[in-house]
Structure 1
Amino acid sequence: MNIRPDIAELLRAGLSDRAIAARLGVDATKTVAPARRALGLPTARSGRKPAATPEALFWQRVQPTDGGHLIWTGSRCRASGAQGGCPTLRYGGRQYSAWRIAFRLRYGRAPEGKVALVCGVDGCVAPDHTEDRRIRERTSATFDAIFGGAS
């Protein structure tokens, strides 16, 4: 079975079939439930429960849009330089950057340095649209190797 990546991520984050269907505009019975079974995940319990992790809370604060973007619907900090403020969430008495959580979801490791968005869409926190200093340096080195460094 070919499972959509966005459905798989939301299932792993613990959202119910109905919540995923409503968020992504798909059928819970025909699309989400078979994906849950194929991934071997247990049926979600009914009722609203608090997020178990900052990552689970992250998925509750995003809205998918065209082009694979996930627009942040949660709170934002008032940091200067960030258009509209940086997306943040509070969990367990701590404040987390949604961009850093998105990066960790995509790459399975903590980001090194600043997390940057490669898409340029204001409010986007899609994990696939993030990169850290290590990735930027590797990309720059690859371009230099292919096209020659700056002279």
Structure 2
Amino acid sequence: MKVRADIAELLYAGLSDSAIARQLGVDRAAAVAPARAALRLPKAKPGPKAYASAEDLFWRRVKPTDDGHMEWTGFHVGRTPAMRHGGRNLTACSIAYRIANGRPAKGQARPSCGRDHCVMPGHHADQADRAHARARSKVIQAWAGGLRRAGRALEREREKRVDALYAQIFGTPE
């Protein structure tokens, strides 16, 4: 029996006969079941299918909000958005960080956008990012302090010049 390539591809991907029939708009009994038999593939296991990656599972469990953030629709451990994949418990924030930065978070990944429990990729900082931001903040504060001191010094210089001009024009007060 000649098997359609699109049916064979979905069968090898592990989809059920009814899912393939729905997706391709074919008859399950007439097209998909004989193709499964011809390819000598076992029936698909019932129940929910495992996700290929934690990122796939993440995208199934988020919902965009109107203000540019995302909220978690999956389960929580305490108040932390979490999921289970590959036998491991993972936080949604760590997966969002990995999606945005292409690397796992060093330490905890926490929302840096100001909204509690936001899981939008790109809205998180790990321990190294937070340490870098603190150091950068200290540099900016030191620079701003230096500008204030320099501004006061310039103001004193200008006052001295104005006093000298006043003295030249009107003389020194006695």
* Common fold: TM-score over 0.5: yes
Q: In structure 2, what is the equivalent of residue 19 of structure 1?
A: none
> TM-score under structure 1 normalisation?
0.59
Return the alpha-carbon distance in structure 1 between the equivalents of residues 81 and 23 of structure 2: 29
- 1:137 equivalent to 2:131? Answer yes
Q: Secondary structure at the match of 1:90?
A: strand
Q: In structure 2, what is the equivalent of residue 93 of structure 1?
A: 87
Counterpart residue identity of residue 121, structure 1: R
Deviation at 1:119, TM superposition (A): 2.3
Q: In structure 1, what is the equivalent of residue 53 of structure 2?
A: 53
Matched residues, percent identical? 40
> TM-score under structure 2 normalisation?
0.51
| Bigger Rg over Cα | 2
Deviation at 1:49, TM superposition (A): 5.3
Q: Describe how 1:61-80 pairs up with structure 2 within 5 A.
A: 61-78=61-78
Return the alpha-carbon distance in structure 2 between the equivalents of residues 75 and 102 of structure 1: 16
Question: Which structure has the higher relative contact order (CA within 8 Å, separation 6+)?
Answer: 1
Q: In structure 1, what is the equivalent of residue 122 of structure 2?
A: 128
Structure number with higher helix proportion: 2
Partner deviation per Cα, 1:3-58 (whole Å, 9 max, x = no partner): xxxxxxxxxxxxxxxxxxxxxxxxxxxxxxxxxxxxxxxxxx94985421011000
Q: In structure 1, what is the equivalent of residue 35 of structure 2?
A: none
Give ranges in structure 2 of 5+ residues lacking alignment. Answer: 1-21, 25-47, 144-174
- 1:114 equivalent to 2:112? Answer no
In the alignment, is the contact (CA less than 8 A) between 2:96 and 2:119 conserved in 1? yes
Deviation at 1:128, TM superposition (A): 1.4
Q: Secondary structure at the match of 2:76?
A: coil
Count of equivalent residues: 100
In the alignment, is the contact (CA less than 8 A) between 2:112 and 2:124 conserved in 1? yes
